[in-house]
């Protein structure tokens, strides 16, 4: 056994017993543990609506960034070396970032205007 600058207080089996004793106390179903108010249907519906909103925001951002790959959009707004060939068109990083962010700001404004 090497000389350690500190003294080990517990070995692995003692830690194992202490950990599972702790878990048993935490998840015990006895009257000493007080639980909060039950979760109602309104709280569940609010959580579902909020999670759907987050999903739609991510989906919207993905759709906006896919617009940058469309050939017609590239021909209209990207820098092209050959004006007739969409494969030669490229967006600069600044322009691509501005397009995605401005369209996201437009969706935010539309959501705020459409809110009751």
**pLDDT tens for each residue of 35-69:** 667 778 888 888 888 888 778 877 877 787 788 88
The tokens for 91 are 């967006």
CA separation for the pair 45, 62 (Å, rounded): 26
Strand extents, DSSP E, the chain: 79-80, 89-90
Query: Is 5 a domain residue?
Result: no
> Is the model's pLDDT at 7 over the cut of 60?
no
Q: Which domain holds residue 84?
A: 12-114
Q: The pTM is what?
A: 0.47
Query: Is 80 a domain residue?
Result: yes
Query: Is 4 a domain residue?
Result: no
Query: Is 2 a domain residue?
Result: no
DSSP conformation letters of 30-57: STTS---PPP-HHHHHHHHHHHHHHHHH
The tokens for 20 are 């599972």
């Amino acid at each position: 056994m090497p000389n350690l600058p500190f003294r080990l207080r517990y070995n692995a089996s003692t830690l194992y017993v202490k950990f599972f004793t702790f878990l048993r106390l935490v998840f015990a179903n006895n009257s000493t543990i007080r639980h909060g108010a039950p979760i109602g249907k309104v709280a569940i519906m609010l959580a579902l609506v909020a999670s759907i909103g987050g999903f739609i925001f991510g989906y919207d951002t993905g759709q906006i960034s896919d617009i940058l790959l469309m050939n017609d959009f590239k021909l209209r707004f990207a820098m092209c070396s050959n004006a007739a060939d969409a494969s030669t068109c490229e967006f600069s990083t600044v322009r691509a970032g501005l397009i995605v962010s401005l369209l996201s700001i437009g969706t935010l404004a539309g959501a705020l205007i459409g809110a009751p």
